[in-house]
Amino acid sequence: MPYTTYHLASFVGGLLSVILRAMLTLKSLKLKTAIMQSPMAGCTDLAFRLVARKYGMEFAFSEMISADALVRANKKTLALLKRHPQDTPLGVQLVGSNPNIMAEAAIMVESLGFDLLDINLGCPVRKVVAPGGGSALLREPNKARIIFQAMIKKIKKIPLTAKMRIGFQDPTGQEAIRIAKHAEAEGLAAVTIHGRTREQGYSGKSDWQAIARVKQAISIPVIGNGDITTASDALEKKTISHCDGLMVARGALGNPWLYQNIDSLLRHGHKLPPPDANERKKAALLHLKYERDFEGEKIAVLKLRSILAWYFKSYPNASVFRSQIHQAKSTKALRSLIEEFNY
C-alpha cells in the first residue's frame, strides 16, 4: 500500500474510532452523542428540555414518574409526560417497588411513544426509599432482578435501562455491581451509575473510580453520572471510568451550552467559547416564554423564581437579581428583570 494511502487510511480509521466513541447505541436507540440529561424532579420539564435542545442537547428524560401514580392515571403525573414534536428523543424514568405495577406502567410508557424507559434505583429521598423504591432496591438485589424480569417481558420495542447509585451505604460499588450484573443478565440495554451512596445524598464528591469498577464488571454500556458541571469535568471523569456515556444533571441548570461544549471537547479536543451575558438573557427569556406557554401564568411565575436564577448565578449581581425575581408577581415583571439585569 503506498505511503500516502496508508496514512490516509490510518487517519480515516482513527477519525471513525473517535466518532464511534462519541456515539451511544442502546439497542434500538442510536444517539449521535454519548451525553444524556438526567431526570430531575422540578427541573427537567418540557420548557427546560426545549431550551436545552435549542443549544445542543440530544437526549433527555422527563421528570421522574411514580409507577403507582401513572397506573392510577393521576392527573399531575400525566401532566409530567407532556410532549412536543421537537422534544425527541425522550426517555421516561419510573420509580416504584412492585414488579407488577412497574410492568404495567412500562406498557403505558411504551404505548405513549417514548424512546427509552429507565428504572430508578438511585433516588435517596425518604418518601421514595421508605416504601422500598429508589435506592432502597440496592439492598434487595433479588427484588430488583424480579422487577427487571417483569418489565423486560412487557417491553416490545424500546430499550430498558436502570439508573442506580454505587451503593446504599457501601461506597465500594459492590452493591451496584450486583445489580448491574442482574440488569445485564435480564437483557437491559445499559446501566447508569451515580458515583455517590444513598447515605451521601447529594453531598461530598462523586466517586468515578467506583463507577470504573462497575464498568469493568459488565459488558453492557455503562453511563457515568455525578459532578459533571464543565466539559473538563466530563473529560476527566470519562478518562477515569472509561464509561460509554455521560449523564449530566445539576450542571446543566441554567447552562444549556454544556452539552455541546462536552461533545466538542470529547470529539474534537477543544472547548467552545462561553456564552456572554446577552446570550444568557436570550436563553432565559426563551425559558420564560416556554414556561408561560405550557404551564400558564400562575404556575410559570412560581417555577421561574428558581429557574431564572440558574442563568445568572455566576454574575456579581446574582443575589440582588434572585431577590428581585422572588418578589415578581407576573411573567411580564420577570421579563423586565431579565432585560434590565446589570451584569
| CB neighbour list of residue 254: distance below 8 Å, 6 or more residues apart | 280, 284, 307, 309, 310, 311, 312, 313
| CB neighbour list of residue 238: distance below 8 Å, 6 or more residues apart | 224, 246, 266
Q: Annotate 22-37 with DSSP letters as a single string.
A: T-EEETTEEESSSEEE
Residue matched to cell numbers 415578581: 328
Instruction: Answer yes or no: 123 catalytic.
Output: yes
Catalytic residue among 64, 123, 160, 210: 123
Residue matched to cell numbers 470529539: 267
Q: How many Cβ atoms sit within 10 Å of the Cβ of residue 76?
A: 8
Of 271, 267, 272, give the one whose Cα is nearest residue 19: 267
Coil/strand/helix, residue 60? strand
Coil/strand/helix, residue 208? helix
Of 83, 108, 33, give the one whose Cα is nearest residue 267: 33
Instruction: Give catalytic residue positions.
Output: 123
